Amino acid sequence: MRIKFQFIGMLALMISAASCKKDNFDAPTSSLKGKLVYQGEAINVEHDRVPFELYQYGFGKVGAIVQTFAQDGTYSSLLFNGTFKLIVPNGQGPFKWKQTAAGAPDSVTINMNGSQVLDLEVTPYYLIRTPQITAAGGKVMSNFKIEKIVTDATAKDIENVTLYVNKTQFVSGADNIANTGIGGGAITDLNNVILSATIPNIVPTQNFVFARIGLKIAGVEDRIFSPVVKLTF
């Protein structure tokens, strides 16, 4: 019986050692980072709302690594070296991501062999141009232009445009202390859109806010934004 118990004990130690070895693999150290761009111009989105997916093949696991873009359109991932595929799923983002002939999201092949920077080219439906955002007299005022980028059969209308104000640097429909908007059908001149919002009382008191403009595209969940600006008053 002692021999049997010794064998069981040795087997348990071997299993434990193998488990520890498996759990002690080095963490990934190669950095993949970049941003969403259109012809070199950064695309701004809502923080933590627009996802992308990374797939690595050849390791017996093909599930997606799902991450999201920051509000300035940047992304950053720590990965093992190897070959990856990156996609933005259909229906995500205020832009067109390239597709295959069958309508599936096309992929970008990434060969990781150390850290690298990779910007991702997309085609936004609209862009907010020359945004001028200021603060005075208890109000945030904005004046901007809207450029329609997609004009073919896949073009979409503007649902609304909104000026958002927040006390922190995260500014969106979910993160704001004041906002004002205009419906797409009420915009008479895309080259001269004016919006203003009243700054509410802020507790604790601060003499600055953050603001940006968000454009909602009809039939598209995600807004495209102008860059965040900090306003002191």
Domain boundaries, the chain: 30-123, 125-232
Average pLDDT over the chain, rounded to whole?
Answer: 91
pLDDT for the residue 28: 84
| CATH class of the domain whose range is 125-232 | mainly beta
List the single range of 21-25, 118-122, 154-158, 174-178 with lowest mean pLDDT: 21-25
Does this model's pTM top 0.75? My answer is yes
| Residue 6: pLDDT over 90 | no
pLDDT tens digits, 22-34: 455 678 889 999 9
Domain 30-123 in CATH 2.60.40.1120: yes
Between 1 and 54, name the one with better pLDDT. 54
Determine the pLDDT at residue 62: 64
Q: How far is it, in rounded angstroms, from Cα 23 to Cα 78? A: 18
Q: Identify the helix (H) or strand (E) that includes residue 148.
A: strand 139-148
pLDDT in tens, 41-99: 999 999 999 999 999 876 655 689 999 999 999 999 999 999 999 999 999 999 999 99
Please say whether the beta carbons of 64 and 55 come within 8 A.
yes
30-123 against 125-232: fold identical: yes
pLDDT > 90? residue 15: no
Percent of the chain at pLDDT above 70?
Answer: 87
